Amino acid sequence: EGKEHKLFLAFIRHGEQRLVKDEKTPVENEQDPPLTTNGKAQAKKTGEFLKKVLEEQEIKKVIIYSSPFLRAL
């Protein structure tokens, strides 16, 4: 009998980002605007949720594919 493998697949979008047109301070790279304070909090909460799920499901091997944009890292 073979080992049972668990699979958990998640598609996650980046958190709230700063809109260039809504800010008075210019953004260095308009194609990759930074996350807002709220967006950073959303990202942290998502990371904590994923960690909890992976630990509860005893998933040890994790593979992550991510966009190269800063808002997705």
Does the predicted model carry a pTM greater than 0.85?
no
Rounded mean pLDDT, 65-70: 85
Q: Phi and psi at residue 17, in whole multiples of 5°?
A: -115, 160
Residues 6+ apart with CB under 8 A from 12: 46, 50
Instruction: Give the pLDDT confidence of 4-56 residue by residue, as tens digits.
Output: 777 888 999 888 887 755 556 556 666 778 888 899 999 999 999 999 999 99
